[in-house]
Amino acid sequence: MAVWALGINHTTAPLDLRGRFAFAIDQVEPTLRALRDSLSRQPEAALISTCNRTEIYCAGEKPQLEHTLDWLAQSGGVSSSLLRAHAYTMEDSLAARHAFRVASGLDSMVLGEPQILGQIKDAVRAAEAAGALGTTLSQLFQRSFAVAKEVRTSTEIGAHSISMAAAAVRLAGQLFEDMGQVKILFVGAGEMIELCATHFAAKNPKSLAIANRTLERGEKLASRFGGEVMRLGDLPDRLHEFDAVVSCTASTLPIIGLGAVERALKRRKHRPMFMVDLAVPRDIEIEVKALEDIYLYTVDDLAGVVQTAQASRQAAVAQAEAIVDAGVQSFMHWVDQRGSVPLIQQLNAQADEWRAAEIGRARKLLAKGEDVEAVLEALSKGLTQKMLHGAMAELRAGDTEARERASSAIQHFFLRKER
């Protein structure tokens, strides 16, 4: 069984290209079905899609890396050559190593961040629901979860981590002297916005608001922080009220355009606005970044802030990598053993056939009144002859090379003294 993986992430592909391959969790099932239908023999498949990465994992009789990459390129509306220039591809142990490192937070923009593990678990559940997860990928991901747990409990890889949310607060603090005078708008109500709202609320801003497509979810989040909720449709008319805007939705198109920001700046008499776009694809049109008095940061822009905390955790990386190595060796050993399963099944079936034949013969003899000891002796001899027949035939073969191979095998399987 072959395992292969390919993908793009924050280190290999620009944000706009990553945006073309961003799949919402409800898109994963139909996407996996389409992928498997496009490949021969419908291999096992799983799709991981976050703001920092899109990755496909497959398992089948033979690797189909090129076909998988071509399909992904087509789904994103780009040429295979363009995607290939930014993608990474891996097979077998390298694919397993990558999966274990990703789950452990070793491949994240924020070293050791725990959020990716939950995202992988969501992806695995979606693959199961799509009927795309088989024994091999199930083992791969279950082992990646175990490795990630050991990395987090045995090392300090996640200590002192600066999350994307904390990085956004740090940047805002560089622009605004007193966060207590800042009015903040959060666009969206998902996990990332909840994390950001928690960090910003700790700085006691002047006010906090949530703009979301559905008011019910927005109200639930706003109530936690004593903030107000507003409809997404009201955003253009109220944008000027806020000093800071943090956006992260699942929209496939920008929801804050250049014109809306220009009008907001005019009404604010060009008082500066701090904006963070954590969405992939973008929530805020990139042209906004060129405006004076606008300080717009994307997920990629936050990387530098995040990296400042990396040095203190590098000492734990070597220990974490050793745990990953052990996990990879264990998984590949399991894969190799799986290759012997058909032969083991055949051997067991043959042994059962011999046993059934000799027991049947023994029962007939007993039914005729034959001596029990004689019947047992005949049964044991019959089984022994059947088991040794192949080996003895090879030893008597005319081919010298065949006899030597048989002799070596017999020495190994039947004549070893240690048992």
Predicted confidence (pLDDT) per residue in 355-386, tens digit: 888 898 889 988 988 888 988 998 898 888 88
Query: Would you say residue 136 has pLDDT above 60?
Result: yes
* Mean per-residue pLDDT, 153-176: 84
pLDDT at site 341 = 66
Closest CA to 48 of 81, 8, 11: 8
Per the CB < 8 A criterion, the answer to whether 119 and 48 are in contact is yes
Amino acid (1-letter code) at residue 50: T
Mean pLDDT over each residue of the chain, to the nearest integer: 90
Characterize 212-248 residue by residue with b for buried, 16 or more Cβ atoms within 10 angstroms of its Cβ, and e for exposed.
bbebeebeebbeebebebbebeebbeebbebbbbbbb
DSSP 99-151: HHHHHTTTTSSSTT-SHHHHHHHHHHHHHHHTT---HHHHHHHHHHHHHHHHH
Cα–Cα dist 172/163, whole Å:
14
Lowest mean pLDDT among 39-43, 244-248, 273-277, 395-399: 395-399
Closest CA to 249 of 276, 281, 204: 281
* Mean per-residue pLDDT, 394-417: 78
Segment 12-56, tens digit of pLDDT: 999 999 999 999 889 999 999 999 999 989 999 999 999 889 999
Burial bucket for residue 134 (CB in 10 Å: 0-12, 13-18, 19+): middle
Lowest mean pLDDT among 46-60, 193-207, 388-402: 388-402
Q: Which of 51, 58, 196, 248 is catalytic?
A: 51
Query: Would you say residue 387 has pLDDT above 90?
Result: no
Lowest mean pLDDT among 146-160, 260-274, 304-318: 304-318
Closest CA to 184 of 164, 163, 165: 165
The phi, psi pair for 199, rounded to 5°, reads -65, -45
Distances (CA, A) of 168 to 126, 162, 163, 274, 368: 31, 10, 9, 10, 90
pTM (2 decimals)?
0.76
Cα–Cα dist 243/272, whole Å:
7
pLDDT at site 348 = 82
pLDDT at site 114 = 85
Per the CB < 8 A criterion, the answer to whether 115 and 105 are in contact is no
* Mean per-residue pLDDT, 119-133: 95
* Mean per-residue pLDDT, 251-271: 95
pLDDT at site 248 = 95
Burial bucket for residue 68 (CB in 10 Å: 0-12, 13-18, 19+): buried
| Backbone angle region of 248, left / alpha / beta, with phi > 0 → left and psi within -120 to 50 → alpha | beta
* Mean per-residue pLDDT, 72-93: 97
Lowest mean pLDDT among 74-83, 85-94, 193-202, 236-245: 193-202
Sign of the dihedral through C-alpha 339, 345, 350, 354: positive
pLDDT at site 308 = 63
Percent residues over pLDDT 70 in the chain: 96
3-state class (DSSP) for residue 401: helix
Query: Would you say residue 262 has pLDDT above 80?
Result: yes
pLDDT category, 309, cuts 50, 70, 90?
Answer: low
3-state class (DSSP) for residue 216: helix
Sign of the dihedral through C-alpha 180, 184, 189, 195: negative
Query: Would you say residue 419 has pLDDT above 60?
Result: no
Tokens of 154: 């045995």
Tokens of 372: 């029990």
Cα–Cα dist 230/143, whole Å:
43
Segment 3-12, tens digit of pLDDT: 999 999 999 9
| Backbone angle region of 118, left / alpha / beta, with phi > 0 → left and psi within -120 to 50 → alpha | alpha
Active site residue 196: no
The distance of Cα 122 from the centroid of its chain, to the nearest Å, equals 9
3-state class (DSSP) for residue 282: coil
pLDDT category, 418, cuts 50, 70, 90?
Answer: low
Query: Would you say residue 73 has pLDDT above 90?
Result: yes
Query: Would you say residue 334 has pLDDT above 80?
Result: yes
The distance of Cα 389 from the centroid of its chain, to the nearest Å, equals 51
Q: Are strands 44-49 and 53-60 parallel, antiparallel or unpaired?
A: antiparallel
Tokens of 122: 């969501």
Per the CB < 8 A criterion, the answer to whether 402 and 394 are in contact is yes
Per the CB < 8 A criterion, the answer to whether 8 and 83 are in contact is yes
pLDDT at site 166 = 86
